[in-house]
């Protein structure tokens, strides 16, 4: 089976590329098929290829100290996986199995690196979608974690962009994701009086602005909007909670930072509500 340009254009990591660049990717892209339950690669294996799901479902796994498998990431059509050898010491940092019969597109890592050199837009597109260890190291909430721990956290993360004025999430929405500002600025607001939003915080680069994905009942407690064109790093809450089962130290670090942020935002909210009360009294 030959991988065609139209099919690869559907993959988010390639969607903004010129047809000529996608054609070059097609030349090094190889189809792979795995039966249900088959192992695609194991944690610690030499990283030789990255993969994109064409058809089917793929599960990533980590193992607890007692050997219990914990699912980290469910990959479906057009999902990229297996890229950790590009940012860590040449090996896969999870185990991966086919949950169903799957068809994949595989690209050998040396071929991908050659494409990065020859076609900078391919590298830029790839980097705009993935989150490296070096990038996570700069984020307050992940400060103090080792390279290996950051590598596993990176598997739960992706980049997302918003235009100025876009709503990222609304108060009351189901909180499935944790957000950190990559570049830009995000405004956090509540609405104590209908149709009168009140700003309680502004977040800039490397600052966390949502913890609800980590704390039950997993509902956002405020509304977040992009004040300018903004890039954010998004971590899937379920994947983070699964990683915490395997790595208690990561769990302690993340929850401690979330609690500190919650405390600060409660103070900001209290002050904003008090100011709102005084303003309403002065208008009477």
SS3 for the chain, per residue? CCCCHHHHCCCCCCCCCCHHHHHHHHHHEEEEEECCCCEEECCCCECCEEEEEEECCEEEEEECCCCCEEEEEEECCCCEECCHHHCCCCECCCEEEECCCEEEEEEEHHHHHHHHHHCHHHHHHHHHHCCCHHHHHCCHHHCCCCHHHHHHHHCCEEEEEECCCCEEECCCCECCEEEEEEECCEEEEEEEECCEEEEEEEECCCCECCCCCCCCCCECCCEEEECCCEEEEEEEHHHHHHHHHHCHHHHHHHHHHHHHHHHHHHHHHHHHHHHHHHHHHHCC
- Residue, of 225 and 62, whose pLDDT is higher: 225
Of 130, 159, 192, at which residue does a domain stop? 130
13 and 80 in one domain? yes
Write the CA distances from 75 to 45, 54, 70, 86, integer angstroms: 19, 10, 15, 19
Residue-number span of the structural domain to which 23 is assigned: 5-130
Query: pTM to 2 decimals?
Result: 0.77
Task: Say if residue 278's pLDDT is above 60.
Answer: yes
189 and 76 in one domain? no
Q: Which of 237, 202, 201, 204 is nearest to 219 (CA)?
A: 237
147 and 121 in one domain? no
Q: How confident is the model at residue 89 (pLDDT cuts 50, 70, 90)?
A: low
How confident is the model over 11-33, as pLDDT tens digits?
Answer: 989 988 999 999 999 999 999 99
Task: Say if residue 35's pLDDT is above 90.
Answer: yes
215 and 126 in one domain? no
CATH number for the domain including 86? 2.60.120.10
Task: Say if residue 280's pLDDT is above 80.
Answer: no
How confident is the model over 125-144, as pLDDT tens digits?
Answer: 888 888 888 899 899 888 88
Q: How many independent structural domains does the chain possess?
A: 2
187 and 275 in one domain? yes
Write the CA distances from 4 to 25, 26, 110, 185, 251, integer angstroms: 10, 6, 21, 39, 43
Look at residue 272 in the predicted model and tell me its pLDDT: 66
Look at residue 17 in the predicted model and tell me its pLDDT: 94
185 and 96 in one domain? no
């Amino acid at each position: 089976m030959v991988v065609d340009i139209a099919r690869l254009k559907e993959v988010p990591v390639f969607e903004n590329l010129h047809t000529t660049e996608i054609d070059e990717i097609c030349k090094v892209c190889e189809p792979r098929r795995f039966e249900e339950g088959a192992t695609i690669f194991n944690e610690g294996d030499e990283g030789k290829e990255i993969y994109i799901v064409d058809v089917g479902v793929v599960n990533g796994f980590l193992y607890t100290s007692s050997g219990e498998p914990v699912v980290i990431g469910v990959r479906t059509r057009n999902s990229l996986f297996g890229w950790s050898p590009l940012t860590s010491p040449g090996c896969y940092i999870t185990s991966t199995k086919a949950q169903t019969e799957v068809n994949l597109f595989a690209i050998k890592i040396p071929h991908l690196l050659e494409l990065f050199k020859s076609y900078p837009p391919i590298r830029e597109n790839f980097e705009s979608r993935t989150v490296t260890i070096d990038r996570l190291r700069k984020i307050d909430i992940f400060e103090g974690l080792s390279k290996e721990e950051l590598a596993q956290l990176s598997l739960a993360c992706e980049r997302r962009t918003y235009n100025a004025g876009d709503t990222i999430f609304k108060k009351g929405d189901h909180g499935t994701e944790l957000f950190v500002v990559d570049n830009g600025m995000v405004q956090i607001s509540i609405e104590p009086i209908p149709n009168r939003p009140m700003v309680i915080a502004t977040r800039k680069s490397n600052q966390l602005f949502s913890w609800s994905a980590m704390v039950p009942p997993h509902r956002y407690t405020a509304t977040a909007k992009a004040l300018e064109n903004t890039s954010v790093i998004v971590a899937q809450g379920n994947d983070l909670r699964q990683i915490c089962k395997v790595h208690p130290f990561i769990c302690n670090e993340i929850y401690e930072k979330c609690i500190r942020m919650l405390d600060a935002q409660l103070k900001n909210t209290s002050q904003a509500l008090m100011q709102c009360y005084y303003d309403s009294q002065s208008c009477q």
